A and B are shown apart, each in its own frame.
Chain A
C-alpha cells in the first residue's frame, strides 16, 4: 500500500512537470498578454517597455526555468487579471466546481444504476427500450444544446429555476464557500448539475446494462438461481457487485471528461468555478492562471485515479495494488 502511494507520488511529479512544460509551450500561440491589458492610446514603444519589464522578451527557456524555480518554492505566479497568486484564485473557485461535479456525480449514480439494472433485468420491457432509445439521443446531443434547452424551458418559460450564477453561499470551516446549505444555492445548482449529469449519464446507463447482462449469463449466477436464492439477492448482491468493477475503472477515466464538461457547463450557466475561470484566462492570455489550472487539473486526475484504484482493491480483493499501480 505504501509503496503503491509512493509510486503514485513519483508518477504525479512526472505528470506535473510534463504538463507545466506543455502549458508553457502552447502559451505563445494564444496571443500577447500585454496587448490584452492596454487600451488603444498606448504607444508601441510603451507596450515594448512593458513587455521588457515583464520579461516576455526573454527566451522561452529562460522564462520556463524562472517559472519552474518559483513553482518549486510554491509560487505559481500572479494572475494578470485577478492580481492575486494564481493558485489562490483557482483554489477559491475550486469549491464551486467541486460542488457542481459532486452533484452531477450523485445524480449520475442515483439515476444510472437503477436504470441500467432495470434495462438489464427486463430487456424487453417497453420502459427499458425507451431508456435505451433516449440514452442514444443523450449520447449524441452536445452538452451546450442540452444546457441551453434546460435554461430556456425551466428558467425563461417556466421560471422555476434561476438562470445563472451560484446564488447565496455560506462560508464553512473558514475556507469553503458552499451553496449546499442555502435554498437559493441549491436552486441555482439544479440546472447546471443536471446538464452536466446528462452529458455523462447515457454512457453509464448503457455500460451498466451491458455489463449486467453479461454477468447474468455467467455460470455463478446460473448456479445461484439453481440454488434457489431470492432474485433480489442474486441481482443486487452477487451480480451487481461484479458489474461494478469495470464501471469503477471507466468512472475513473471519465473524471477527465467531467472536468472538460465543467468548462462548458460553467460557461453556459455563468457558474463561478474553475472551468469558466480557465476559459476566461485563455481569452485574456492570463498565462500564470492557465499554467496553474492545468497543473491543478493534472493533480485532480492523479488523485482521482489513485482513489479509484484503492476502491478497486477494496471491492476486488484479488487485485494486488503494488503490482497494479504503475
Chain B
C-alpha cells in the first residue's frame, strides 16, 4: 500500500514539476541557531519549522486556521478536543507519520524550557487510533488551537533515544532533522547558508508552490542585503530597513510588501522606583506628551502603526475607541495638578539593536518629555547588555517590544500587566510595578473563558483599564517588510507572524 501511495505521489509530482520548477535564492538577517525545533522559541526556529516541518494547523493571512497535519478537530467536552490526523504523510526519513509522533512531540515540547510555558496546560494525549487523538487539558482553554500552530510533529523513530535538548552544545537533534515539511535540508553552514531541496513525497500535492530548491543565505548588514536584491544575486529578502524603503519603492524590478506586525513597542513606567510615577496623572501626562504619530512618520518613515493600546488590530482585546492622543496643554495641566509643574529628572534605558530604530525612538521620546519638563537621562545599550539591565529593572523607564506567541491579547497582559508572581510566571516582564488584583482576576478568567463573546468583553475591559490608568506608554506596531523580484509572488505566502510559507511560493 505504502509503495503504491508513494508511486502515485511521485507520479503526480512528476506531472506537476513538468510545468515549472524554480530555485529561490533568499537572504535574511539571521539563520536558525539550531536544527532542533524545540531548542529556542525564536523567529528563526519557527521560520525553519515551516520549511522542514508541518504544524497541525497554521494561521492564514486573515488569522483564521488552515488544517495541515490535522485534517479536522472538534471539542468533545470542556477539557477534551479531538483531532483527526492526515493520512499517508511521510517524514523525510521515509517513516510514516501517525498519532505516536504527535504524542512524542508534545512530550518533548513539555520538557523544553522554551516551549514548556506554552504547552504546560496539556495534561495528556489519548491515542484513539493511528490517526486520531484526544488532547486533554488541565484547565479549560480557549486557545488550544493557537497552540497547535506551534506543534510541528517530529519523526519519533528518527529522533527517539538521541533527542536531548541541549542549549549550549552539540546534540543529535541540533544537526539532524526529519520532518514532514515541503523542504529537505541538503547542506548547512551555520551563520552563512542553508540549502534545501523540495520534498518529492510532500503530501500537499494541491499546493501550487513550484520552488524546488532554496538557497538561504544570511546577510547581516541591511545595506548589503538590499544590494544583493538590487543586483539580482538573490530573489527575496527580509527584513528591509525603513531607511531603505523609499529606495526599494523606486526600483521597477523590485516589489516591496509590508504588513503590520503584532509586536507592540511600549515604555514601562516603573512605579516601584519612582514616587512620581505612582501618580496616575503623571503617567497620563507622559502618555499625552508623547506623539506616536510623529514617531511613526519621521522615524519609522510611515512603516509602523501608531499605538494607544497593547492589542494589535485583529487581536480580540483591541478597542477601536483607543487612538493615540497628543495633547501637550492637557499634559502640562495634569503635571500641574499632580504638583510637578517644575517637572523632575528620570532615568530611561532602551536597546539600540533590538527593535527597528529603537535608539532613535528613545531619543525622540526624551525630547518630547522635555516639553513637560521631565528631564530624561537616557542610556541605550546593545541587546546583549540591555536585557540584563531589564531583568534588574535598572531604570525608571524601560523600552520593550512584545510579540504575543498565541496571537492573543491575554498573552501580553499576563506577561506585562499582571502582578509579578514567580510561581505562576505571571508578570515576568512587568517592569512597571503596577499591580491590580482586580485586573489579575480578569486576566485569569480570560484564560478559562470559552464563550467567545464574553471573552472578548473581558479582554476589552482589561485593555480599557490599562489605558485609563496609563500603566504603560504604547508607541507603535512595527511593520514587517519583505522585498522580492517581481516574478516571485511573495504576497501570497507571507504573514504578520513573519513565517513565510515557502512551500506554497510560486515563481513565474
Chain A residues within 8 Å of B, Cβ to Cβ: 29-33, 35-46, 50, 54, 78, 80-84, 148, 151-152, 155-156, 159, 162-165, 267-270, 272, 276-277, 279-280, 283-285
Contact present for A276 and B224 (CB under 8 Å): no
Cross-interface CB contact of B221 among A33, A50, A268, cutoff 8 Å: A268
- Mark interface residues in B25-51 (1 if CB within 8 Å of A CB, else 0): 001000001100000111000000000
Contact present for B40 and A37 (CB under 8 Å): yes
Question: In the complex, which residues of chain B have a beta carbon less than 8 angstroms from the beta carbon of A43?
Answer: 117, 422, 425, 428
Contact present for B117 and A155 (CB under 8 Å): no
User: What are 12 A-B residue pairs whose CB atoms fall within 8 Å in the complex?
Assistant: A29-B385, A31-B388, A37-B168, A152-B227, A156-B230, A159-B231, A159-B232, A163-B224, A267-B221, A270-B224, A277-B191, A283-B353
- Given A38-B113, A42-B114, A270-B219; A82-B191 close (CB under 8 Å): yes
Question: In the complex, which residues of chain B have a beta carbon less than 8 angstroms from the beta carbon of A283?
Answer: 353, 382, 384
Contact present for B217 and A165 (CB under 8 Å): yes
Chain B residues within 8 Å of A, Cβ to Cβ: 27, 33-34, 40-42, 113-115, 117-118, 166-171, 174-175, 189-193, 217-221, 223-225, 227-228, 230-233, 353, 382-385, 387-388, 391, 402-403, 405, 415, 422, 425, 428-429
Question: In the complex, which residues of chain A have a beta carbon less than 8 angstroms from the beta carbon of B167?
Answer: 37-38, 50
Taken together as a complex, chains A and B put the C-alpha atoms of A32 and B230 apart, in Å, by 37
Cross-interface CB contact of B190 among A32, A36, A81, cutoff 8 Å: A81
Cross-interface CB contact of B118 among A41, A81, A280, cutoff 8 Å: A41
Question: In the complex, which residues of chain A have a beta carbon less than 8 angstroms from the beta carbon of B391?
Answer: 35, 44
Is the contact region of chain B dominated by helix, strand, or loop, or is it mixed? Answer: loop
User: What's the least CB distance linking A319 to chain B, in Å?
Assistant: 44
Contact present for B220 and A39 (CB under 8 Å): no
Q: When A and B form their complex, which 6 residue pairs have the shortest distance between CB atoms, in order from nearest?
A: A31-B384, A39-B41, A31-B385, A155-B231, A41-B117, A272-B192
Cross-interface CB contact of A39 among B42, B225, B388, B402, cutoff 8 Å: B42
Contact present for A285 and B114 (CB under 8 Å): no
Question: In the complex, which residues of chain A have a beta carbon less than 8 angstroms from the beta carbon of B232?
Answer: 159
Contact present for A156 and B227 (CB under 8 Å): yes
Taken together as a complex, chains A and B put the C-alpha atoms of A41 and B406 apart, in Å, by 12
Contact present for B191 and A40 (CB under 8 Å): no
Cross-interface CB contact of B189 among A32, A151, A268, A272, cutoff 8 Å: A272
Contact present for A163 and B221 (CB under 8 Å): no
Q: Which residue of A lies closest to B189 (CB)?
A: A272
Question: In the complex, which residues of chain A have a beta carbon less than 8 angstroms from the beta carbon of B193?
Answer: 165
User: What's the least CB distance linking A60 to chain B, in Å?
Assistant: 16
Contact present for B382 and A38 (CB under 8 Å): no
- Told that A37-B33, A164-B27 touch, could you supply 17 new A-B pairs with CB distance under 8 A? A30-B385, A32-B385, A37-B40, A38-B40, A40-B403, A40-B415, A41-B405, A46-B113, A50-B168, A78-B168, A78-B169, A81-B190, A82-B191, A152-B227, A163-B231, A283-B384, A285-B384
Contact present for A83 and B192 (CB under 8 Å): no
User: What's the least CB distance linking A288 to chain B, in Å?
Assistant: 10
Question: In the complex, which residues of chain A have a beta carbon less than 8 angstroms from the beta carbon of B233?
Answer: 155, 162-164
Q: Which residue of A lies closest to B223 (CB)?
A: A148
A-B CB pair tally, cutoff 8 Å: 134
Contact present for A270 and B220 (CB under 8 Å): yes
Cross-interface CB contact of B217 among A33, A45, A164, cutoff 8 Å: A164
Taken together as a complex, chains A and B put the C-alpha atoms of A279 and B221 apart, in Å, by 12
User: What's the least CB distance linking B491 to chain A, in Å?
Assistant: 24
Contact present for A44 and B422 (CB under 8 Å): yes
- Given A31-B382, A163-B224; A280-B168 close (CB under 8 Å): no
User: What's the least CB distance linking A277 to chain B, in Å?
Assistant: 7
Contact present for B113 and A270 (CB under 8 Å): no
Question: In the complex, which residues of chain A have a beta carbon less than 8 angstroms from the beta carbon of B230?
Answer: 156
Question: In the complex, which residues of chain B have a beta carbon less than 8 angstroms from the beta carbon of A269?
Answer: 224
Taken together as a complex, chains A and B put the C-alpha atoms of A44 and B429 apart, in Å, by 10
Taken together as a complex, chains A and B put the C-alpha atoms of A39 and B383 apart, in Å, by 13
Question: In the complex, which residues of chain A have a beta carbon less than 8 angstroms from the beta carbon of B383?
Answer: 31
Q: Which residue of B lies closest to A288 (CB)?
A: B168
Question: In the complex, which residues of chain A have a beta carbon less than 8 angstroms from the beta carbon of B219?
Answer: 164, 270
- Given A32-B388, A163-B231; A270-B34 close (CB under 8 Å): no
Contact present for B191 and A268 (CB under 8 Å): no
Taken together as a complex, chains A and B put the C-alpha atoms of A45 and B33 apart, in Å, by 23
Question: In the complex, which residues of chain B have a beta carbon less than 8 angstroms from the beta carbon of A163?
Answer: 224, 227-228, 231, 233
Question: In the complex, which residues of chain B have a beta carbon less than 8 angstroms from the beta carbon of A151?
Answer: 223-224, 227
Contact present for A81 and B191 (CB under 8 Å): yes
- Given A38-B114, A43-B117, A151-B227; A54-B168 close (CB under 8 Å): yes
Q: Which residue of B lies closest to A92 (CB)?
A: B189
Contact present for A78 and B191 (CB under 8 Å): no
- Given A40-B429, A276-B220; A84-B231 close (CB under 8 Å): no
Contact present for A270 and B221 (CB under 8 Å): yes
User: What's the least CB distance linking B169 to chain A, in Å?
Assistant: 6
Question: In the complex, which residues of chain B have a beta carbon less than 8 angstroms from the beta carbon of A40?
Answer: 41, 402-403, 405, 415, 429
Contact present for A272 and B191 (CB under 8 Å): yes
Cross-interface CB contact of B231 among A38, A41, A162, A280, cutoff 8 Å: A162
Contact present for B231 and A156 (CB under 8 Å): yes
Q: Which residue of B lies closest to A45 (CB)?
A: B422
Question: In the complex, which residues of chain B have a beta carbon less than 8 angstroms from the beta carbon of A81?
Answer: 33, 190-191
Contact present for B387 and A35 (CB under 8 Å): yes
Q: Which residue of B lies closest to A81 (CB)?
A: B33
Question: In the complex, which residues of chain A have a beta carbon less than 8 angstroms from the beta carbon of B40?
Answer: 37-39
Taken together as a complex, chains A and B put the C-alpha atoms of A81 and B425 apart, in Å, by 27
Question: In the complex, which residues of chain A have a beta carbon less than 8 angstroms from the beta carbon of B384?
Answer: 30-32, 35-36, 283-285
Taken together as a complex, chains A and B put the C-alpha atoms of A285 and B171 apart, in Å, by 21
Question: In the complex, which residues of chain B have a beta carbon less than 8 angstroms from the beta carbon of A37?
Answer: 33, 40, 167-168
Question: In the complex, which residues of chain A have a beta carbon less than 8 angstroms from the beta carbon of B168?
Answer: 33, 37, 50, 54, 78, 80
User: What's the least CB distance linking A227 to chain B, in Å?
Assistant: 57
User: What's the least CB distance linking B263 to chain A, in Å?
Assistant: 11
Taken together as a complex, chains A and B put the C-alpha atoms of A40 and B382 apart, in Å, by 17
Contact present for A32 and B387 (CB under 8 Å): yes
- Given A32-B384, A84-B170; A267-B402 close (CB under 8 Å): no
Question: In the complex, which residues of chain A have a beta carbon less than 8 angstroms from the beta carbon of B228?
Answer: 163-164
Question: In the complex, which residues of chain A have a beta carbon less than 8 angstroms from the beta carbon of B231?
Answer: 155-156, 159, 162-163
Contact present for B220 and A42 (CB under 8 Å): no
User: What's the least CB distance linking B262 to chain A, in Å?
Assistant: 14
Taken together as a complex, chains A and B put the C-alpha atoms of A165 and B27 apart, in Å, by 11
Taken together as a complex, chains A and B put the C-alpha atoms of A247 and B223 apart, in Å, by 36
User: What's the least CB distance linking B420 to chain A, in Å?
Assistant: 10
In this complex, the member of A38, A46, A152 whose beta carbon has the largest number of chain B beta carbons within 10 angstroms is A38
Taken together as a complex, chains A and B put the C-alpha atoms of A41 and B411 apart, in Å, by 10
Question: In the complex, which residues of chain A have a beta carbon less than 8 angstroms from the beta carbon of B27?
Answer: 164
Question: In the complex, which residues of chain A have a beta carbon less than 8 angstroms from the beta carbon of B191?
Answer: 81-82, 272, 277, 280
